[in-house]
Protein backbone atom coordinates (compact mmCIF):
# COMPACT_ATOMS: atom_id res chain seq x y z
CA UNK A 1 0.00 0.00 0.00
CA UNK A 2 1.35 3.42 -0.95
CA UNK A 3 2.12 5.85 1.91
CA UNK A 4 -0.48 8.36 0.70
CA UNK A 5 -3.07 5.60 0.54
CA UNK A 6 -2.27 4.49 4.09
CA UNK A 7 -2.46 8.06 5.35
CA UNK A 8 -5.82 8.60 3.71
CA UNK A 9 -7.11 5.32 5.16
CA UNK A 10 -5.95 6.23 8.68
CA UNK A 11 -7.52 9.68 8.32
CA UNK A 12 -10.87 8.13 7.35
CA UNK A 13 -10.75 5.85 10.39
CA UNK A 14 -9.95 8.72 12.78
CA UNK A 15 -12.63 10.91 11.17
CA UNK A 16 -15.25 8.14 11.45
CA UNK A 17 -14.36 7.58 15.11
CA UNK A 18 -14.53 11.31 15.78
CA UNK A 19 -17.99 11.56 14.26
CA UNK A 20 -19.16 8.61 16.35
CA UNK A 21 -17.70 10.15 19.51
CA UNK A 22 -19.42 13.44 18.70
CA UNK A 23 -22.72 11.59 18.45
CA UNK A 24 -22.10 9.89 21.80
CA UNK A 25 -21.67 6.45 20.24
CA UNK A 26 -18.61 5.67 22.36
CA UNK A 27 -18.72 1.87 22.12
CA UNK A 28 -18.90 1.95 18.31
CA UNK A 29 -16.10 4.54 18.14
CA UNK A 30 -13.89 2.28 20.28
CA UNK A 31 -14.58 -0.62 17.89
CA UNK A 32 -13.59 1.54 14.91
CA UNK A 33 -10.39 2.66 16.65
CA UNK A 34 -9.53 -0.95 17.54
CA UNK A 35 -10.03 -1.95 13.91
CA UNK A 36 -7.66 0.86 12.94
CA UNK A 37 -5.08 -0.38 15.46
CA UNK A 38 -5.24 -3.91 14.05
CA UNK A 39 -4.94 -2.57 10.50
CA UNK A 40 -1.88 -0.48 11.42
CA UNK A 41 -0.23 -3.40 13.19
CA UNK A 42 -0.82 -5.61 10.17
CA UNK A 43 0.97 -3.02 8.01
CA UNK A 44 3.81 -2.70 10.54
CA UNK A 45 3.02 0.90 11.51
CA UNK A 46 3.74 0.67 15.22
CA UNK A 47 3.56 4.42 15.78
CA UNK A 48 0.10 4.71 14.27
CA UNK A 49 -1.02 1.53 16.05
CA UNK A 50 0.08 3.11 19.34
CA UNK A 51 -1.85 6.29 18.52
CA UNK A 52 -5.00 4.23 17.91
CA UNK A 53 -4.38 2.47 21.23
CA UNK A 54 -4.07 5.80 23.05
CA UNK A 55 -7.28 7.05 21.45
CA UNK A 56 -9.08 3.86 22.53
CA UNK A 57 -7.91 4.48 26.10
CA UNK A 58 -8.99 8.12 25.95
CA UNK A 59 -12.42 7.28 24.51
CA UNK A 60 -12.93 4.54 27.11
CA UNK A 61 -12.36 6.87 30.07
CA UNK A 62 -15.46 8.18 31.81
CA UNK A 63 -16.12 11.84 31.04
CA UNK A 64 -15.02 14.30 33.69
CA UNK A 65 -17.67 16.35 35.35
CA UNK A 66 -17.89 20.01 34.37
CA UNK A 67 -18.71 20.85 38.01
CA UNK A 68 -15.08 20.40 39.16
Q: Quick check: 6 and 43 in contact, CB under 8 A? A: yes
Residue 68 in any domain: the answer is: no
Domain contains 8: no
- Residue 37 is assigned to a structural domain of this protein: yes
- 36 assigned to some structural domain: yes
Residue 34, pLDDT score: 97
10 occurs within a structural domain: no
Look at residue 17 and tell me if it is in a domain: no
Please tell me the distance from the alpha carbon of residue 37 to that of residue 45, in angstroms, as a whole number. 9
Contact 64, 31 (CB under 8 A): no
Residue 44 inside a domain? The answer is yes
Counted domains in the chain: 1
In a domain, 2, yes or no: no
pLDDT score at 40: 97
* Residue span of the structural domain in which 52 resides: 24-60
CA distance 16 to 10: 10
Would you give per-residue pLDDT tens digits along the chain (68 residues)? 788 999 999 999 999 999 999 999 999 999 999 999 999 999 999 999 999 999 999 998 876 644 55
Using alpha carbons only, what angle is made at residue 51 by residues 11 and 62, rounded to the nearest 5 degrees? Answer: 105
Amino acid sequence: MEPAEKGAHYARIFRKAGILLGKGRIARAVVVLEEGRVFAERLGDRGIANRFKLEVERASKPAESLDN
